[in-house]
Amino acid sequence: MFSKLSIVCGLCFWLTIVSAAVNLAQIVSSNEDLQEQSTNADTDVNDVTMLNGLENAPKVTQDLAGINSAMKIVVANAEQVTPTSDAGDESSVTSSFSSFSDALTKLMNDLISQETTLALFFQKEWIHGNLTLLEDSYNTYSSALQGIITDESYVESIDESTGGALGQIGSAVSAYA
């Protein structure tokens, strides 16, 4: 009824279909494995981020946000100073400025030393941007201090606000001590 040739052709045809089905099943299975590996990799990355990120990145972000806020107060007070040729006793203001300068230097050095850790959280450029802002604020404040006057209301206002800002900066810096 069927010739040998037609039986062989039929078997080849069905073997090809079965082989294709097996290959397709392997491809689907392989794809599922890749998706699972991808999900596992994402989970691993998230676990690392959770582990290290909660300890480092948000802490640094919070500290720098506090420092930037304090710096705005310091610079605003520095800009209120009326320059005069009549320089008086500025020791309290200049000693506060010296404390601020030391704290800023320490913070910058500590953050730079942790730069490799921070780079894992894509914080590197953000940190450099904030350090640049702090340096600019430092220069603005330094220039304004050169023209400080001894008028009591100015001195009291500057001492009070600068003291608060220095306290905020000091608190943030102490986290890296």
Number of domains in the chain: 2
Instruction: Report pLDDT digits (tens) over 16-56.
Output: 666 656 665 565 555 555 555 544 444 443 443 333 343 44
61, 28: one domain: no
66, 144: one domain: yes
Say what percent of the chain tops pLDDT 70: 0
108, 26: one domain: no
pLDDT at 85: 45
34, 116: one domain: no
6, 61: one domain: no
Mean pLDDT of the chain: 55
91-113 and 152-174 helices, crossing angle to 10°:
20
Instruction: Report pLDDT digits (tens) over 134-169.
Output: 556 655 555 555 455 545 565 566 556 656 665 555
Tell me which residue range forms the domain holding 14: 1-46
Listed residues 10, 27, 46: the one ending a domain: 46
| pTM for this predicted structure | 0.30
76, 137: one domain: yes
61, 6: one domain: no
Q: How many CA atoms lie within 13 A of 136 on its CB side?
A: 8
**Alpha carbon separation from 2 to 10, 13, 17, 107, 150 (Å, rounded):** 10, 15, 21, 90, 117
1, 18: one domain: yes
Residue scoring higher pLDDT (105 or 52):
105
77, 110: one domain: yes
